[in-house]
Amino acid sequence: MSITRRSVLSLLAASAFLPAASAFAQEAAPEATAPEAEPFPVRAEDENKIAYKYRRREVEYESSEAPGTIVVDPKKRYLYYVLGNGQAIRYGAAVGKAGRTWSGHSTIGRMEKWPTWTPTPEHIAEFPKLVKYLPDGMPGGPENPMGARALYLYQGDVDTIYRIHGTHDPKQIGRKKTAGCFALLNTDVIDLYNRVQLGTKVVVMEY
């Protein structure tokens, strides 16, 4: 699960105020669905807080992958959504230590809006107060380190424990700042979420 020490400390400080498919192949990548009202704030201005090269844009990108495929380049901290015809949408990402040691093919097996976050035993050991979020997890919201959306990566029926998710901290983008997952700006993960579906292929390149 993806979380930084700063995120955990911020979470603990804020918690006192909180209430206790089939694989697809297409000739062209699908269009993003229309945006919808969000139950919590999503700051468009976060884009201005990251390096220009990590801001979402359409770029030239030659790939043998079919349109609609997600390709993660952990070394360069980019995530690509393949459009076809030598084009892709490129997003800046944060990539953690585990994300730099795992590579391979997977598919999106689950998609969640404002996902629940459940601390791992390692998080509980370091921050015992997080035990309050067991067993049901921390509800989605502005203090939840999973951000506005989460895409859960599976290999067959097996959860890889890797996620593509949002972040409330734009300083993470373009850096090695998560504990294992791939984080995008909330605005970017919402855009990506609106383009994909269950069964979407995800390729994680070697670091």
Looking at the annotation, which residues are catalytic?
A: 165, 181
E strand or H helix at 189, and its extent?
A: helix 186-193
The answer for residues whose C-beta is within 8 angstroms of residue 70's C-beta and 6 or more apart is: 79, 80, 81, 82, 108, 164, 192, 196, 200, 201, 202, 203
DSSP 155: E
DSSP 79: E
Unique residue bearing structure tokens 């800046």: 92
The answer to whether residues 143 and 14 touch, using CB atoms and an 8 Å cutoff, is yes
DSSP 99: G
The answer to whether residues 166 and 150 touch, using CB atoms and an 8 Å cutoff, is yes
